[in-house]
Amino acid sequence: MSSQKPSIPKGTRDFSPAEMVRRNFIFDVIRNVFQVFGYQPIETPAMENLSTLMGKYGEEGDKLLFKILNSGNYLDGLPEAESGMRDAGSRLVHLTRHIAEKGLRYDLTVPFARFVVQHQNDLVFPFKRYQIQPVWRADRPQKGRYREFFQCDVDVIGSNSLLNEVELGQIIDTVFSRLGINVLIRLNNRKVLAGIAEAIGAPDKLTDITVAMDKLDKTGMDKVVDELIERGITYESVEKLQPILTLEGKIKEKFDTLTSFFANSTIGQKGIEEMRIVLQHLKDLDLKNKFDFDITLARGLSYYTGTIIEVKALDAAMGSICGGGRYDDLTGIFGLPGMSGVGISFGADRICDVMSELKLFPETLQAVSRVLFVNFGTEEEKYCLKQLADLRKAGIPAELYPDPSKLKKQMEYANRKNIPFVILVGKDEMEQGQMALKDMRSGEQKICTPGEVKQILSW
RNA sequence: GUGGUCGUAGCUCAGUUGGUUAGAGCGAUAGAUUGUGGAUCUAUAGGUCGUGGGUUCAAGCCCCAUCUUCCACCCCA
């Protein structure tokens, strides 16, 4: 029989017990914060109908969707004409439509929008929900980038109030404070970006402008100007844009400059006003982490319409570990117009990477028994089983070695698993109704009554 | 999708201009020690050198393809 080398798909990972303990620590903190802020959990299927997912993430997004081949003979009913399609690109699109109708979810926001529309009659609005589940992207893996990763989303839908933005800011601040990660929280507003596009006389080039602007901190002004020209922005417009790009200093000064810049742009004024309100509230709340207004922040999927948020770790080189924003009409495409929502997504895997790099995990994180009963044989087993049940009833994680193996082997087992205590019960101890409790750290061992054991272990 | 990079024992890695039977450390297993782990000593096991082709008298080493790892771009958590 030939054996194959075991492996998993590119960009996916197994998680060992030690890793799971750390991951669960993060999930627990995040879930706890979400709940304290009054959000309710939901889950949606790993796969969605492709029609739900396609076209929601831009051209690039469609390419990154994992598509699921139809079951059965998926070539059945393939129109003959398809094979005659001239270029491979459009042939692929048409083919895909016939052989795949499901795809793995790309994020949690679009499935959430679908969920809201589908269950609108059962939901109470504004609906505050959180969702912690894996998503899949057919990206090339690299640092902090996986093909399967967990997002932790919080959204509130059905409310235009900027208080929701403020609340999300508090959630971000609380989560990262609890995890011990220093972060910079950058805010911007799509309306400000639209205002800029309008003010420089290129309102139709919003996307091109934002994509180019976003690279400012990475590539520098020259490259950004090059790209703007390349994307068809006129010299005149670029010239008007430049002083805005280099805007620095206090938030208040930025506001002042932009307010005059937006003299003839109502949408720009609206954006500034929104930013002012959100940032003022956040300032009054006196949070631990720094919030900044950054007009070069353009990220976020194409469906964002208002506030956009991005969070980066200050002490580690890693992409954004949390991001989100407001979307005014995501449910519109599913037939429920006029429903504004705002939400953010924490990238659990990147947060985990950052915390590992910075050694921020508590050392006490472990998922092992507190005590191991050594197995001496049939008689002793029976006795230990009862003691074991008692300890477990008291909430003490405990286990009995399943085989009457050599003592050395059993002790080594406890040692390697980092089980801090071992209980040895042989004939003598059984007769006396006592147990030998050994501290694996110090090596000390003493005879105890069951009550004493419970007391020592329940510490 | 574009560009680069890695792959030799369970793990971390040596391996000369292509030349006999591919090595080390750690780990694993067994024993020294039949009711006591970590330390020490001894012995043992473990590799179709990522995979498939090619060049050569001869390939871990050279060439091609492919998969995988990691990194950058694009984009993003």
CB of A325 under 7 A from strand B? Answer: no
Q: Do domains A17-43+117-357 and A371-457 have the same CATH topology?
A: no
Query: Is strand B in 7 Å reach of the CB of A384?
Result: no
Helix (H, G, I), strand (E, B) or coil at A362: coil
**Is the pLDDT assigned to residue A342 strictly greater than 70?**
yes
Please report which confidence band the pLDDT of residue A232 belongs to, taking 50, 70 and 90 as the band edges: confident
Contacts of residue A20, Cβ cutoff 8 Å, sequence gap at least 6: A367
CA of A1 to C1' of B18 (A): 35
Q: A280 or A224: which carries more pLDDT confidence?
A: A280
pLDDT tens, A181-231?
999 999 999 999 999 999 988 888 888 888 888 888 777 788 888 888 888
CATH number for the segment(s) A17-43+117-357: 3.30.930.10
What is the pLDDT averaged over residues A433-455? Answer: 93
The residues facing A244 across adjacent strands are none
Hey, is A390 helix, strand or coil?
A: helix
**What is the dotted CATH code of the domain comprising A371-457?**
3.40.50.800
Domain boundary assignment for chain A = 17-43+117-357, 371-457
Q: Which of A123, A109, A257 is nearest to A195 (CA)?
A: A257
Cβ–Cβ < 8 Å for A186, A311:
yes
CA-to-C1' span, A356 to B71 (A) = 19
Check pLDDT > 60 for residue A1. Answer: no
A393 touches strand B (CB under 7 A): no
The pTM of this model reads 0.91
CA of A3 to C1' of B44 (A): 25
The pLDDT, as a whole number, for residue A96 is 76
How far out from the chain centre does Cα A231 lie? 33
Residue A87 has pLDDT above 70, yes or no: no
- The letter for the amino acid at A233 is I
Long-range CB pairs of A118-123, under 8 A, 24+ apart, other chains included? A118/A334, A120/A336
Average pLDDT, chain A: 90
Alpha helix (H) residue ranges in A54-147? 58-63, 88-99, 109-118
Higher per-residue pLDDT: A437 or A252? A437
